[in-house]
Amino acid sequence: MAAAELERLRMAGAGMAIAVLTSGGDAQGMNAAVRAVTRMGIYVGAKVFLIYEGYEGLVEGGDNIKQATWLSVSNIIQLGGTVIGSARCKAFTTREGRLRAARNLVEHGITNLCVIGGDGSLTGADIFRAEWGGLLDELLRDGQISEEVAKANGRLNIVGLVGSIDNDFCGTDMTIGTDSALHRIMEVIDAITTTAQSHQRTFVLEVMGRHCGYLALVSGLASGADWLFIPESPPEDGWEDMMCERLGETRSRGSRLNIIIIAEGAIDRNGKPISSNYVKDLVVQRLGFDTRVTVLGHVQRGGTPSAFDRVLSSKMGMEAVMALLEATPDTPACVVSLSGNQSVRLPLMECVQVTKDVQKAMDEKRFEEAIQLRGRSFENNWNIYKMLAHQKPAQEKSPFSLAILNVGAPAAGMNAAVRSAVRISICQGHTVYAVNDGFEGLAKGQIREVGWHDVAGWLGRGGSMLGTKRTLPKTCMEKIVENVRKFNIQALLVIGGFEAYEGVLQLVEARGQYEELCIIMCVIPATISNNVPGTDFSLGSDTAVNAAMESCDRIKQSASGTKRRVFIVETMGGYCGYLSTVTGIAVGADAAYVYEDPFTIHDLKANVEHLTDKMKTDIQRGLVLRNEKCHEHYTTEFLYNLYSSEGKGIFDCRINVLGHLQQVLRGQEGHQHCATCHRGLTSVFLCTQGGAPTPFDRNYGTKLGVKAVLWMSEKLQEVYRKGRVFANSADSACVIGLRKKVVAFSPVTELKKVTDFEHRLPQEQWWLNLRLMLKMLANYQISLTEYISGKMEHVTRRTLSIEKGF
């Protein structure tokens, strides 16, 4: 959209009235959405109203509809549930109830409504919109409003944000609350795994999903569950025998536990419900295993939102206001959604219709069609789970051997990628070698063949089970070549950060000298810094953002009893500011300094003045993030001294360093205080490179491992001639990554042209667009000229069949 047009839209907000409500079941992230809609609305000059208790508050009116200020939504981004309440309302399902709701909106001059809820809530909003003209006519006839008022409020614009932990709304990649619910489920599974191993138990976990198996499916994929029940794909007749046989097999191979995950809406082929207690009794009676049932229930709705949900909700909230600003009489009610990492707008009723089609297909036992209607990503999840859960003999032994290694700093999700790559390679009939300690291990011959069960239990493990080092091939090229020849390695899968990409590039450039390096190579980007060219998201960055976010939440909480304090927090990331920026959005930071967005002393002065003004409000605390290499001279200590000096008498400062290399003494409540604590320096000992991977990183790593090996297998077939592999084309050595909406393979030689090797960065980074949102939500007056509006897209069976990411 043209810059002038965006500025015109911003001015058009003056005089508008926007109301926001949450309806149906609550979902983590709703508060972040309410905050973003409120602040974006105020930013464009509109009046914003909060409707309390959902549609019930809309029908009842009175004190349930209150005008919001900027501070009305302060300090809510980290809270679960919805602070404005949610309630199911029978009255709104009647015309009489909707007439009362229309009367209440007209009273406040509200003609723009943002509804955050599930398909039922959004369908109700569309009905309300369709009836709006008739409702106003009726109010006019009854003398409740004047003709002038009816004319001024003649059109109701509706925009929806889907808040549902089930992720059951077709057309959207992820709904608000889904990622957080997966966090709760994986926390329980990780905890149960330890006790199950201790007692050699089987656990049956029941998760939410009455009509949609997304939570069960992704948690099964992310935990390596032994058996999975989802409503979209009931088990074949005789499943009881097959399940018990598989559980018995895993125990006979030395496994000390079994995990069975069941969606609450699980059914058999005849539509009969399958209960968790039935599954438990079956295992006890047939196998005699000590078996327990855990029903997670509303635990899945609770707790603080994940970083993904906070950023998603903030992004969608801003886009919702833009959609209302741009609405015309011909614009259909739309849903703001996520496609890849891009905001899109989808016609509301198209999404609702496809969602209904899924249920109809399930009712009519067209289960394959039901899975397809859920979308390609859901279908791929299901197929990958079936491939990796249980070993199936390869149809034939392939002539190819593949080596897998980790390079660079450890990143959460590396082990998930190794596990899936090993298992899918075995399914393809390849010989698989694991290499310890990266390129250095490849040079030293630390290479061993691995089997299916060697990678069991790796999914939830942090760090790198293979071991990883930063050594680059150029320091030991001849020894690497010697071992590639010795082990007849024909394909190399390198999982790691910038060193992995740079290392493969060195191997490719050495092909002219060493024919042994004319093999297939693929890089799976895995680094907390998210600085590898060729992908929008690196494996491990989601876990790192969540770790940094949780620490900042604690820092903010510790400041709640202390007035007028500003925290300056240093994050990792090298020269890449992704971690600082996304963490800043997720915690509602006042500023985030990064290398890619240059700043001067004048900018620092403006930030200090901004915080000084903030201290005059009820929110008397501040949070500033600084990427570790954002500026050569404006160090963390410099910022501390500057803020302390300029804010003297108004606020005081503290420094927190989020890293894993701090020399510290352990203090109370998880903080470590170093010798410079008297100067306000507090070091939080947080290893953002370690810890259990988030559900996103487990799932992402699993999918990347599978897709990388399938691509490598295809390439190996293409270059296999007369019993040998010879690959020297540019597209034989690639980085796999998610780019906008698709998974892409980018040749490393092409990526070299768009890489800043001095600072270890891609020359262009998509996430810089997010900085506009960070600044706007922190109440900085900035131009909207760089804002990228979402486009209207239609939801059809063809669009659902497109692979749009993870």
Q: Which amino acids are annotated catalytic?
A: 166
Contacts 24+ apart (CB under 8 A), 480-488: 480/439, 480/442, 480/443, 480/507, 481/514, 481/516, 481/517, 483/442, 483/443, 483/445, 483/447, 484/442, 484/516, 484/517, 484/519, 485/516, 486/445, 487/401, 487/403, 487/433, 487/447, 488/401
Please give the Cα distance from 493 to 275 (Å, whole number). 42
Structure tokens at 787: 């804002």
Beta strands 681-685 and 720-721: pairing type? Answer: unpaired
Q: Which tokens is 770 given?
A: 């997010």
Residues 6+ apart with CB under 8 A from 600: none
Distance CA 215, CA 206 (A): 10
CA dist list (Å): 202 to 188, 195, 230, 247, 260: 14, 10, 19, 9, 8
Q: Does residue 332 contact residue 349 with C-beta atoms inside 8 Å?
A: yes
Cβ proximity of 634 and 593 under 8 Å: yes
E-strand spans in 397-550?
401-407, 431-435, 447-449, 468-469, 491-496, 520-525
Give the number of other Cβ atoms within 10 Å of residue 625's Cβ.
Answer: 28
Going by C-alpha positions, the residue among 356, 358, 320 that lies closest to residue 338 is 320
Distance CA 67, CA 55 (A): 17
Task: Report CA Rg, the chain.
Answer: 27
Q: How many CB atoms lie within 10 A of CB 742?
A: 12
Say if residues 748 and 505 touch (Cβ distance below 8 Å).
Answer: yes
| 578-587 helix and 307-326 helix, angle to the nearest 10 degrees | 80
At 712, which helix (H) or strand (E)? helix 695-719
CA 262 to chain centre: 23
Q: Which helix (H) or strand (E) holds 623?
A: strand 621-627
